[in-house]
Structure formats: structure tokens, C-alpha cells
């Protein structure tokens, strides 16, 4: 059975209002519900609530050369955070982030709504990170490097991906690389939370109009 929705988007710059009516299929509705449920669980993780325990950087001094520094959250907190992020990262999971984006982009057929969703896709992909860090040919802040790390050490144990990253650790400390990857995952979590807010406004409707500010 179709699941109707109605909402209004307000452009903060122009104050212009755009109203849209539509409906989700049962399959789409179920996927969005899975996404929202997983987002609620993610929000309860300690790292997702605050990233104050994570820091990294480097310094250079004449005579001593380059020095890296990294402060990581407790391992139990990191493990819980990565576990709750898993449904959004793995393609076969019902809560897969890009699948939810595709549903919303298809149904929210307004240019302003689609721009908002594209901005969240870019944030999830690491394109909003305000710096770029490269070690040799590997761009640590890129989406493919993050997925390589997850497949090598966290979600899977691909030996080839592990050997490539371990070779990098010979010139760049593992703790610093781990800090960069966790930071990238926090960027993903931020995108998940913002997308969940949009889904929540659509799924939790009681028949009244919902307004979103973009």
C-alpha cells in the first residue's frame, strides 16, 4: 500500500516556499524505517555524541624532523561506534546510506531538496573534509581509502588490503592513520544524522504538513 507524504521546503536565503506531495512504496517505506531505526542506535554511541577524545596532527622541528601525534578514543567506544555505523556502510544492508539517498532523491522531486541530499552524499563521501592528507598514492581522506581500511581491519579482513595499509604504516604511524579514518567515519555519521532528520519528518507524519529548512 502507498505511504503518502506532504512537506514544504523553505529556502533560508530567498524565503521561498515549495510544497511537494508524493508517496513511498512499501519497500521504500521499509528501507527508510530501517535507516531511521539504525540512526537512533548510532546516536546513542559515545563517539557519535562527542568527538572531543579524538585529535591528530604533526609538527616539524629542525634537528628532530617530522613528529606525528594522535589521541584516540577508548577502543571499546570506537568498536561500538563502528558497529553501529556498519548498516549504513555495507551495500547489502537495508539501511545502506546511498540507497536511502536514492529513494529520497527519486521521491522528493524538487531541485532544492535534491541539492540538500547531494550535499549529504558529498559529506558522507568525505568531500566536505576541510583538508586532504595523502601518503604516497593513497589519499587517506578519500572515500576509497576509508573503505579499504574498513575492509582490511574492521568489517572484513582482506589480506591484500591489509598488506597495502601496513606498508603505509612504515612511513605514517598507524595511530595517526586510525585517527584520520575515525574522523572520516564521524563525517559519515554527521551525514547519517542529517538524512535521518529528513526521513523522520516524513515517516513520523500525522497527516499534517511538514516543513523543512534548506
Domain boundaries, the chain: 3-50+58-213
pLDDT at 119 over 70: yes
pLDDT cut 90: percent of the chain above it = 63
Report the pLDDT value the prediction gives residue 204, as an integer from 0 to 100: 66
Are 4 and 21 a contacting pair, CB within 8 Å? yes
When pLDDT is averaged across residues 70-78 and rounded to a whole number, the result is 92
pLDDT at 72 over 80: yes
Report the pLDDT value the prediction gives residue 57, as an integer from 0 to 100: 85
Per residue in 159-177, pLDDT (tens digit) is: 999 999 999 999 999 999 9
When pLDDT is averaged across residues 77-104 and rounded to a whole number, the result is 96
Average pLDDT, the chain: 89
DSSP E strands, the chain: 3-10, 17-24, 55-61, 65-71, 134-135, 138-139, 210-213
Report the pLDDT value the prediction gives residue 51, as an integer from 0 to 100: 64
Report the pLDDT value the prediction gives residue 90, as an integer from 0 to 100: 96
Report the pLDDT value the prediction gives residue 207, as an integer from 0 to 100: 45
pLDDT cut 70: percent of the chain above it = 93
- Which residues are CB-neighbours of 17 under 8 A, at least 6 positions away? 8, 9, 10, 11
Are 168 and 138 a contacting pair, CB within 8 Å? yes
Report the pLDDT value the prediction gives residue 27, as an integer from 0 to 100: 96
Q: Which of 8-12, 24-28, 116-120, 124-128 has the lowest mean pLDDT?
A: 8-12
Report the pLDDT value the prediction gives residue 209, as an integer from 0 to 100: 46
CA atoms of 27 and 160, how far apart (whole Å)? 37
Report the pLDDT value the prediction gives residue 214, as an integer from 0 to 100: 45
Report the pLDDT value the prediction gives residue 61, as an integer from 0 to 100: 81
CA atoms of 81 and 64, how far apart (whole Å)? 36
Phi, psi at 83, each rounded to 5°: -65, -45
When pLDDT is averaged across residues 97-111 and rounded to a whole number, the result is 94
Per residue in 17-60, pLDDT (tens digit) is: 888 888 999 999 999 999 999 999 999 998 877 666 898 888 77
Are 181 and 151 a contacting pair, CB within 8 Å? no
- Which residues are CB-neighbours of 50 under 8 A, at least 6 positions away? none
Amino acid at each position: 500500500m502507498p505511504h503518502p507524504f506532504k512537506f514544504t521546503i523553505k529556502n533560508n536565503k530567498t524565503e521561498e516556499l515549495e510544497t511537494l506531495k508524493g508517496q513511498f512504496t512499501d519497500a521504500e517505506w521499509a528501507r527508510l524505517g530501517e535507516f531511521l531505526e539504525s540512526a537512533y542506535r548510532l546516536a546513542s554511541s559515545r563517539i557519535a555524541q562527542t568527538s572531543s577524545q579524538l585529535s591528530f596532527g604533526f609538527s616539524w622541528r629542525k634537528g628532530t624532523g617530522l613528529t606525528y601525534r594522535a589521541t584516540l578514543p577508548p577502543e571499546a567506544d570506537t568498536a561500538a561506534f563502528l558497529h553501529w555505523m556498519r548498516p549504513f556502510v555495507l551495500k547489502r544492508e537495508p539501511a545502506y546510506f546511498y540507497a536511502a539517498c536514492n529513494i529520497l532523491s527519486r521521491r522528493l522531486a524538487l531541485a532544492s531538496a535534491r541539492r540538500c541530499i547531494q550535499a549529504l552524499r558529498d559529506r558522507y563521501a568525505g568531500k566536505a573534509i576541510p583538508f586532504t592528507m595523502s601518503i604516497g598514492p593513497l589519499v587517506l581522506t578519500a572515500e576509497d581509502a576509508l573503505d579499504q581500511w574498513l575492509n582490511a581491519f574492521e568489517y572484513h579482513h582482506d589480506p591484500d588490503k591489509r598488506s597495502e595499509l601496513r606498508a603505509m604504516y612504515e612511513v605514517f604511524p598507524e595511530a595517526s592513520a586510525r585517527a584520520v579514518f575515525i574522523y572520516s567515519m564521524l563525517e559519515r555519521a554527521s551525514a547519517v544524522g542529517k538524512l535521518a532528520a529528513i526521513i523522520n519528518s516524513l515517516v513520523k507524519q500525522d497527516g499534517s504538513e511538514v516543513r523543512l529548512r534548506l
